[in-house]
């Protein structure tokens, strides 16, 4: 079963359970998936779905930061609940040590030597670690590896 099919089944389950908060989040996710399919006239793969979920997770984290700064705890709670639902569709993330090891392998295979090669390394890393690791963590690991 594809990830998109799983999300659709989860929506049906949330409807039956009358879980309105979860249902609203899943419907928003399905709307984002459909929008991408319509805009680009493609059928989304699991990798594409994970990228969209990752983007929505990042948006929720940014919103939580902003709402916390503004003292809006009611909205922080809502965004945090949505964040937990969305995280359920992401694969297990790599730890910082695992990310550093993967980046070191990629840097060695490309023969990258300094900060000037950052773009080349990030391009290769993004294709291999997309959806598997937090890209902020990946970027820091690449900078660390290239500064040696």
What local confidence, expressed as pLDDT, does residue 61 receive? 93
Highest mean pLDDT among 8-12, 44-48, 128-132: 8-12
Q: Which long-range contacts (CB under 8 A, 24 or more apart) does 40-47 make?
A: 44/4, 46/2, 46/3, 46/4, 47/130, 47/131
- The answer to whether residue 30 scores a pLDDT higher than 80 is yes
Distance CA 43, CA 138 (A): 28
What local confidence, expressed as pLDDT, does residue 125 receive? 82
Distance CA 119, CA 123 (A): 6
Mean pLDDT of 25-32: 96
Are 12 and 82 part of one and the same domain?
A: yes
Angle formed at CA 33 by CA 128 and CA 9, multiple of 5 degrees: 100
Q: What CATH number has the domain bearing residue 24? A: 1.10.1510.10
Distance CA 127, CA 138 (A): 12
Are 75 and 9 part of one and the same domain?
A: yes
**Of how many residues is the chain composed?**
148
Distance CA 33, CA 75 (A): 24
In the chain, how long is the greatest CA-to-CA distance? 56
What local confidence, expressed as pLDDT, does residue 107 receive? 81
Are 103 and 77 part of one and the same domain?
A: no
What local confidence, expressed as pLDDT, does residue 128 receive? 79
Structural domain of residue 52, as residue ranges?
3-87
What local confidence, expressed as pLDDT, does residue 130 receive? 72
Decide if 4 contacts 44 (C-beta within 8 A): yes
Residue in 60, 102, 105, 98 with CA at minimum distance from that of residue 79 = 60
pLDDT digits (tens, 9 = 90+) for 54-77: 899 999 999 999 999 999 999 999
Domain count, the chain: 2
Q: What CATH number has the domain bearing residue 108? A: 1.10.10.410
pLDDT digits (tens, 9 = 90+) for 81-125: 999 999 999 888 877 888 888 888 888 887 777 777 778 888 888
Distance CA 51, CA 90 (A): 9
């Amino acid at each position: 079963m594809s990830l998109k099919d799983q999300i659709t089944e989860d929506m049906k389950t949330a409807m039956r359970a009358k879980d309105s908060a979860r249902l609203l989040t899943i419907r928003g996710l399905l709307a984002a998936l459909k929008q991408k399919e319509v805009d680009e006239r493609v059928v989304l793969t699991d990798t594409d779905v994970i990228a969209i979920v990752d983007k929505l997770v990042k948006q929720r984290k940014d919103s939580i930061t902003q709402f916390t700064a503004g003292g809006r705890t009611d909205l922080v709670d809502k965004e945090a609940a949505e964040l937990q639902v969305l995280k359920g569709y992401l694969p297990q993330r790599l730890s910082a040590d695992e990310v550093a090891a993967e980046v070191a392998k990629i840097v060695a295979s490309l023969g990258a030597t300094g900060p000037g090669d950052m773009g080349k390394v990030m391009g290769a890393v993004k294709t291999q670690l997309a959806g598997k690791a937090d890209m902020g963590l990946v970027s820091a690991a690449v900078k660390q590896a290239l500064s040696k």
